[in-house]
Amino acid sequence: MDTDFSDGLTRAELDAYWMPYTGNRAFKDSPRMIVGADGCYYLSADGKRIFDSLSGLWCCGFGHNRHEIATAISHLLTTLDYVPAFQVGHPLAFQLANRIVGMTPAGLDHVFFCNSGSEAVETALKMARAYWHLKGEPSRTKFIGRGKGYHGVNFGGTSVGGVEANRKPYGELVDTVHLPHTLLPENVFSRGLPEHGVELADELEELVAAHGAKNIAAVIVEPFSGSAGVILPPQGYLERLRELCTKHGLLLIFDEVITGFGRTGQNFAADTFGVTPDIMCLAKALTNGVVPMGATVATPEIYETFMANGGPDYAVEFPHGYTYSGHPVACAAALAALDIFEQEKLAARCHELAPYFEDAIHGLKGLPYVADIRNFGLAGAIQLESYPDEPTRRPGEVGKACWEKGLYVRYAGDCLALAPPFIAEKEDIDFTFNVLNDVIGALA
């Protein structure tokens, strides 16, 4: 039967949209529709206010429907809707590139724009391989990723990612080997960075010995993973990776699509951990999720290698880019979003709220089926024991029950992930974990 839902769409009409990363059959049998947003809350089609405990998909940390961003976009659309990304430019792209360079760690000075985190990663991988080709080392084509890592869904990102469910349907796409993940049983219920596992970084030595530094283009990692369930680096782990990449002459790529722009309590995780990569991938909070945009930021050494070896000065040094690279509307949104981020000191706000969030999430320890709790900055995950042979079922049940109580929780794999907006109040944190306490407690 074609039931008429409150938003006016019938069951048959829902089938036209093939939804991403969604159980389409289950959703379309019982849709959860959002029709409005404001601040930290969504409005559902049936009129409920829903607290957004994941900042959209890690991207709306500055709060929904910020009028400053809407005003900037509206103003631009009356003067400049689109500019080709190739061979001409517009001032906002240059302004934004300089703004980003002013925020990133020293030594990351050149910004290449794209349209998503997946494209930022793809750009970084192509940049790394082309860099070595220009340096006279074309054999450096292999990448080293990490188990349980997530780097988007394009060919390269799928390959260097370490989430097996994302890779399995497609086979090997890009020549990649993986470091072991850092989700260790001895670190369960750690508060902040876990104590055990720094030695896992030394697995890089074995991969270099097995494959040869002369064949490896780069190591790519998230400072901490988000999509796989907030998997954190052990204390000293990222510092050791940096040391080994420098020792063996490997490029280090940080995928900060989730961690960038405040999530760790500083501008970037690179700042928090005191580790500067050679290439950094950004997206999501760059525009506060309002307009799709990504960026890949590189060192002067990489940029100047392209400039010095690109042929005559009219030649294209890096044959790569997108129709919508540096789109003027996206640039306007990003500049307005970064104004909010800096003027409201949202990284510091995240840092201040993080201890309260930490105490609240770890307050769920001891509830039925809670196998682990992890947190860092304003991000956390609750790992649930699985039904036999059904690892994703229980988190889905919890997430749907939370929705009915006015809480949006992201569920994926065997985890519930949380990353509330930086503008959230302590009362919002209390509400989140009171609902989770009730829902998980009722599983017994």
Question: Of 42, 41, 40, 21, nearest to 32 (Cα)?
Answer: 42
Q: What is the pLDDT of residue 1?
A: 31
Q: By the 8 A CB rule, do 114 and 287 touch?
A: no
Residue 444 scores a pLDDT above 90? no
Q: State yes or no: is 324 an active-site residue.
A: no
Q: In this model, does residue 144 exceed pLDDT 80? A: yes
pLDDT digits (tens, 9 = 90+) for 121-130: 999 999 999 9
Which pLDDT band holds residue 225 (cuts at 50, 70, 90)?
Answer: very high
* 281 and 254 Cβ atoms separated by less than 8 Å: yes
Q: Tell me what pLDDT residue 9 has.
A: 85
Annotated catalytic, 21? yes
What is the pTM (predicted TM-score) of this model? 0.96
Domain(s) labelled CATH 3.40.640.10 in the chain stretch across 71-343
Using one digit for the tens of pLDDT, what is the confidence trace for 149-174?
999 999 999 999 999 888 888 876 78
The label of the residue with tokens 């709790």 reads 373
Residues of the chain with CATH 3.90.1150.10: 32-62+345-441
pLDDT at 358 over 90: yes
- Exactly one of 52, 109, 255, 428 is catalytic; name it: 255
Q: How many CB atoms lie within 10 A of CB 10?
A: 12
Phi, psi (rounded to 5 degrees) for 364: -85, -5
Q: Note if 284 is an active site residue.
A: yes
With pLDDT > 90 as the criterion, what percentage of the chain qualifies? 92
Q: What fold is seen in the domain 32-62+345-441?
A: Aspartate Aminotransferase, domain 1 (3.90.1150)
Of 150, 237, 303, 411, the active-site residue reads: 150
CATH top-level class of 71-343: alpha beta
For 178-205, letters b (16+ CB in 10 Å) and e give bbebbbbeebeebeebbeebbebbeebe
Quick one: pLDDT band at residue 5, thresholds 50, 70, 90?
very low
Is beta strand 176-179 parallel, antiparallel or unpaired with respect to 216-221? unpaired
In this prediction, residues 32-52 reach a mean pLDDT of 96
Single out the catalytic residue among 109, 237, 284, 414: 284
Handedness of CA 204, 206, 210, 212 (dihedral sign): positive
pLDDT at residue 2, rounded to an integer: 41
pLDDT band (50, 70, 90) for residue 7: low
Rounded Cα distance, 3 and 9, in Å: 8
